[in-house]
Chains A and B, each alone.
Chain A
């Protein structure tokens, strides 16, 4: 069975500060990992994904995430927060099939 835990349902950062959203997973098979972002009244948009290969994955809007097998983590980071980054972020894991297991989401607030 697979599961995802996102630590912190709400995270606040100042504009220009580092963004760090935490995601830990559990999987009995090599995981495939995803981060999605959801802006108000919009669908989920894929930020980045890890399948195989390089463990540091770069996505859209300056976000990146690093797959750390030893820590079972896939934390999302961005060096400098922008007001437009305010949204809800979801981490998801898959065993390589269509069935994604999502975390409960982290709502990011960016303070001016």
Chain B
């Protein structure tokens, strides 16, 4: 079946511009996650959705970052007034959402590579 998809695969933008990154989770998955991967670093947790609500936004690095999810499906990560330090690969994952149990494996998309000039 279809996995997690993300678009665009690559995005180059100028400093100060806003960008929107999209994630389409696996159909039926109620939990959705955003991570950031900077060059040479591990994945940083950004935000977690259960359904359309985000009980944990603790990883969002600043108020320039926001995310929303509609219809328990698509999610959009928005970065306003981008800075060069925002350059990274942004990864989305989804899971069935079995009440946060450890059988709830996270399935990852291929990521969006964001470059801020």
A103 to B37, CA, bound (A): 11
B111: contacting residue among A43, A90, A94, CB under 8 A: A43
Contacts of A49 in B (CB 8 A): 102, 105
- The contact string, 1 if C-beta is below 8 Å from chain B, for chain A 30-64, is 00100010000111111001010000000000000
A55 to B: closest C-beta gap in Å: 16
User: In the complex, are the beta carbons of A46 and B105 less than 8 A apart?
Assistant: yes
Chain A minimum-CB-distance residue to B101: A96
Given contacts A41-B9, A43-B110, A97-B100, 15 further A-B contacts (CB under 8 A): A9-B40, A43-B4, A43-B93, A44-B91, A46-B105, A46-B106, A46-B107, A98-B33, A98-B95, A98-B104, A99-B45, A99-B48, A100-B43, A104-B40, A104-B41
Instruction: Tell whether, in the assembled complex, residue A90 and residue B110 are in contact, meaning their CB atoms are under 8 Å apart.
Output: no
Chain B interface size band reads: 20 to 34
Q: Which residues of B contact A (CB under 8 A)?
A: 3-4, 9, 31, 33, 35, 40-43, 45, 48, 56, 91, 93, 95, 100, 102-111
> Given A43-B91, A98-B31, A98-B33, does the pair A90, B42 have CB atoms closer than 8 Å?
yes
A32 to chain B: closest residue by CB: B102
Interface size on A, residues (CB 8 A): 25
Which of the residues B42, B102, B106, B110 comes within 8 Å of A41, measured between beta carbons?
Answer: B110
A108 contacts chain B at the CB level, 8 A cutoff: no
**Are the C-beta atoms of B42 and A104 separated by less than 8 Å?**
yes
Q: 10 A-B pairs, CB-CB below 8 angstroms?
A: A9-B40, A32-B102, A36-B108, A41-B9, A43-B4, A43-B91, A46-B105, A49-B105, A90-B43, A98-B106
Using CB atoms, name the residue of chain A closest to B40: A104
